[in-house]
Structure 1
Amino acid sequence: MKNLYVTFITFSLLASVGCNQKERSNSIEIKESKEAIKQVNVNSTTISKPIDSTENKPVIRYATAQSGLNYREKPYGKVLGKFFLNEAIEVVEYTNKYYEIADDDQIYEGTWLGIKKQKDTVYVVDAFVSDSPVYSDRKVYYVTSIDPYGKDENYKDNVNISEAPNYNSNFYSALDEEKTYSKKYFEWDKAYRDNFLKAGGITKYDQLHVTKITTGQVASYPIKDLKLIANVNVYASGSGEYNVYDFETCLELPENTNTDFDFATLAIDNPFETATDFKYLKWYPYEETESLRHLYTKRFPYLKSEFSNEPKTKLFYTSYNNYTIYSLDHVNKYNLLTRYVIVVKENGEITNSFIEQEGESTGLIPLNTDYLESSSQFAMKLFKNEPPLIYGLSSESFGCPKLYYLESNYPNIILSCDNRH
């Protein structure tokens, strides 16, 4: 099913790092601070500024506590419930009340935030609130076919693992930038291979696991048995002289590979599910109901009157096993589409929600309402002992597509696609 990667590239032409922090009620002690204190947990887990009351648009942030973010009736008060991991929340108050959290050997300091919850305001600690959702640090790659010699023959199956090392690692700064190469496809030498694998945290015990998601077929190959290949990127100069930055670094699958695999990952043991329960998704128009309006305003209280703002708003649903997935597609005054997705189980429980917004580098893929065979959207169980995922809601011209879990207890995944330009 290599059309996955082709579909992604097509939509891209047309059109962040996981932070697994959690609030552990059995180990966290919240203390009131008597004076203003400096925030210590900066990066992606603090909000960018105090709330400006003159702003007309809602201030939307995201809960980043892995096990759920406790909200309280008042600062230091009684816990009323939890916001899901990556749940979009509306900040309505930036208090001057400070806290100190002792979480094992780490100290978090900051202020309490007031969050809109239906008609009420509840309070959370800002150490677990971010400007953007957090994503898994798990790396999932595409399996692609490469025609190394441009002759439309002898295609080779490869997994581009260029993003395995951290780009801030010493490996990249130590590369011989002056060295040039004339070939477009070749095997890296031992020195490069050893340095690359070390920088990527890939050991001699790791294997490359590849899966065909429509059937659940999985194959595993020891890293030591695979060639580490240099393949010139399509955006590289055509002069015939290339440097190390012009190449993708790929693992070449054995010649006898005869199955169109889709996704790959690096690990000692195979994490992929073999009973994938793969399903293409077809979406159906859905009439607004009071119960669905309640679900949406419960999860996205700032939506207000978007439901009845036709023709700017369209509501769709699809199903996967015991999940119903709703999508509220809304076009704002700037003619940009925002997609609000809610996942609901048969018992009415909301198990996840997320937002996709059209922008300079993000395009929302139209929901498939026709034939299943033409659908670019599907759901499946990709990993063992984990909830199902949905794929194909958006495309990225400067980034990589996302896999969304249908349950909120796992951070969503940004595919490692090496989408360089």
Structure 2
Amino acid sequence: MKNYLQLILLSTLCITFGCKENAKDQNMGNNQNQVAPKNTIKEVDSVKKSTTAPTQTREKQQYIIAESGLNYRDKPKGNVIGKFEWRDKVEYLFSTQQTETITDNYQEVEGTWVALKHLKDTVYVFDYYLSDHEPRRSRTKLYYAEPYYRDILQPSKEIDISLAFVNVSESFYMPENFIDENDLQKDTIHFSKKQRTEFFKRMNYANSDTLFIYDLASTLVKRLPIKNIPLMACINPYSSIIEEYKTEDYYSYDYQIGFNLGKADYSGFAVIGKENPFVEKGLQPLVFKKMNQQQIDSNLKKQIISEDLVNDSIFKPYTSSYKNISAFVKANTDYSSWSDLIIINTQTKESFEIYQEEGESSGKADLNLEDAVSEHSENYQYIGNLFKNKPPVVFGFMWESFGCSQIQFLDKNELPIGILCDNRH
């Protein structure tokens, strides 16, 4: 049970939580804040210095990365005269060298007022929200829902218990002293009403919001009003303190913050908001079957696949399909290895690039091959409609140990969704 979601979602290390109910008394330690992602620009205060000499120091084409858009003004810190949208491409003109420190998402950030070309006008923006690169991932905040587990630890026979948990730490900038010093001795912390109020304020949550969980096992959506869900913190698996030799307290950054689901056995993807974004029963596992000669000949004739896929003495061609989408791969059942993955719309012959880069931090996951015996009963690869009013998705071909998996759409116009798995090392 402990590794159920981990296996399904191919994040071997990134979603293994170290939550335990056993609190142990130790000495007190220090607090340290976590780093939060960039957010939209707010009204700017306190100019640090100002000059007017224009300089050209960056790429001419820039992109807006403020998720809620970026106001542009008639002069630095002047009147708002319009707004750029997230991912807009803009033309950089020059820097005013007028720097500023502002508070964004409860943390101080630094930037400079720069001039951009907008139609025939020159407008000014705060460059903390500009980038040389276009955003390549969706703004959707998608988390994991980890199930409850109960394990026996060897060789001590100690019972290891972890409550079901939705970790939202990647979206939460933890203020100094948010965790009480006396609680830094504990493996699991249950927060007070005051802490909960501050957390909701910083996360922009309302009591009327709902935690929606797409349960991969049943493909149903669980709906839990967040006003009824306890908030807790638990030690992340990469804490700087090894528990067997623990002689000091944890630090605040050793904790993951999220919602305590108790002994729930469902697990999958989680979103917090007003409306359910998921399609119930929208996903199906990809089960790969060995291609027969008739299938091979037909797909070769239609130029769906190439000779490279079938002319191999060791790897045999396999296929799986969903509506008019087919996945083809070469696989070796003896070694549980595969290569040459192709996902293609068989009607339009449009193919989709699926991330397959192997390295120190990533590798190929086992395929669900119909004629192969697997050590695991869970499905790895899924395809289908996960989100309402969105194209089908596909995921599960790669595992990540130093990063987080992503969900890809079978539409090149849709950005992939990066799962906020809080994989800190």
Pairwise TM-score range, normalised by the shorter structure: 0.5 to 0.7
1:391 equivalent in alignment to 2:377: no
Q: Is the 8 A contact 1:141 1:416 kept in 2?
A: yes
Q: CA deviation at 1:341?
A: 5.0
Q: CA deviation at 1:357?
A: 0.9
CA distance in 2: counterparts of 1:103 and 1:214, whole angstroms:
55
Q: 1:243 matched to which residue of 2? A: 251
Q: 1:302 matched to which residue of 2? A: none
1:267 equivalent in alignment to 2:267: no
Q: Is the 8 A contact 1:66 1:410 kept in 2?
A: no
TM-superposition CA deviations, 1:113-169 (whole Å, max 9, x none): xxxxxxxxxxxxxx99959x811121222221345998648763221221222xxx5
* Letter paired with 2:6: Y
1:184 equivalent in alignment to 2:191: no
Q: CA deviation at 1:253?
A: 2.0
CA distance in 2: counterparts of 1:222 and 1:130, whole angstroms:
38
CA distance in 2: counterparts of 1:319 and 1:129, whole angstroms:
38
Name the SS of the counterpart of 1:199 in structure 2: helix
Alignment TM-score, normalising by the size of structure 2 = 0.58
Map 1:79-90; keep pairs closer than 5 Å. none
Q: 2:199 matched to which residue of 1? A: 196
Greater relative contact order (CA < 8 Å, ≥ 6 in sequence): 2
1:403 equivalent in alignment to 2:411: no
Q: 2:353 matched to which residue of 1? A: 353
* Letter paired with 1:278: Q
Q: How many residues align?
A: 314
CA distance in 2: counterparts of 1:265 and 1:291, whole angstroms:
41
**Residues 272 and 289 (structure 1 numbering): CA distance in 2 closer, same or farther, change over 3 Å?**
same
* Letter paired with 1:41: Q
* Letter paired with 1:4: L
TM-superposition CA deviations, 1:226-245 (whole Å, max 9, x none): 11111122222222622211
TM-superposition CA deviations, 1:68-87 (whole Å, max 9, x none): x9xxxxxxxxxxxxxxxxxx
CA distance in 2: counterparts of 1:200 and 1:271, whole angstroms:
19
Map 1:4-403; keep pairs closer than 5 Å. 4-6=5-7, 8-10=10-12, 38-41=59-62, 102=119, 134-146=136-148, 152=159, 156-165=163-172, 169=173, 171-172=174-175, 175=178, 181-236=184-239, 237=241, 238=243, 239=246, 241-253=249-261, 257=264, 259-282=265-288, 284=290, 289=300, 292=303, 316-327=318-329, 341-350=341-350, 352-369=352-369, 370-371=371-372, 373=377, 375-403=379-407
Out of 406, 409, 424, which is 1:420 matched to? 424
* Letter paired with 1:196: F
Computed over aligned residues only, the root mean square deviation of the Cα atoms, in angstroms, reads 4.9
Q: 1:84 matched to which residue of 2? A: none
Q: CA deviation at 1:353?
A: 2.6
Q: Is the 8 A contact 2:210 2:226 kept in 1?
A: yes
CA distance in 1: counterparts of 2:4 and 2:13, whole angstroms:
12
CA distance in 1: counterparts of 2:120 and 2:313, whole angstroms:
49
Q: Which structure 2 segments of 5+ residues have no match?
A: 16-36, 40-55, 66-85, 90-116, 153-157, 332-336
TM-superposition CA deviations, 1:304-334 (whole Å, max 9, x none): x9879968998653211221124579xxxxx
Deviates more, 1:352-361 or 1:366-375: 366-375
Q: Which structure 1 segments of 5+ residues have no match?
A: 20-34, 45-64, 70-99, 109-126, 297-304, 330-336
CA distance in 2: counterparts of 1:219 and 1:374, whole angstroms:
20
Q: Is the 8 A contact 1:135 1:412 kept in 2?
A: yes
CA distance in 2: counterparts of 1:106 and 1:407, whole angstroms:
35
CA distance in 2: counterparts of 1:222 and 1:209, whole angstroms:
9
CA distance in 1: counterparts of 2:287 and 2:167, whole angstroms:
28
CA distance in 2: counterparts of 1:176 and 1:229, whole angstroms:
11
TM-superposition CA deviations, 1:58-100 (whole Å, max 9, x none): xxxxxxx989x9xxxxxxxxxxxxxxxxxxxxxxxxxxxxxx7
**Residues 174 and 350 (structure 1 numbering): CA distance in 2 closer, same or farther, change over 3 Å?**
farther
* Letter paired with 1:266: I
Name the SS of the counterpart of 2:354 in structure 1: strand
Deviates more, 1:195-204 or 1:3-12: 3-12
Q: Is the 8 A contact 2:163 2:261 kept in 1?
A: yes
Name the SS of the counterpart of 2:353 in structure 1: strand
Q: Is the 8 A contact 2:213 2:221 kept in 1?
A: yes
Percent of aligned pairs with the same amino acid: 23
CA distance in 2: counterparts of 1:311 and 1:192, whole angstroms:
62
* Letter paired with 1:39: K
Name the SS of the counterpart of 1:253 in structure 2: strand
Q: CA deviation at 1:12?
A: 6.8
Q: Is the 8 A contact 2:325 2:346 kept in 1?
A: yes
Q: Is the 8 A contact 1:282 1:375 kept in 2?
A: no
Q: Is the 8 A contact 1:215 1:278 kept in 2?
A: no
TM-superposition CA deviations, 1:368-418 (whole Å, max 9, x none): 334595642222321122222222110111111121222223211221222
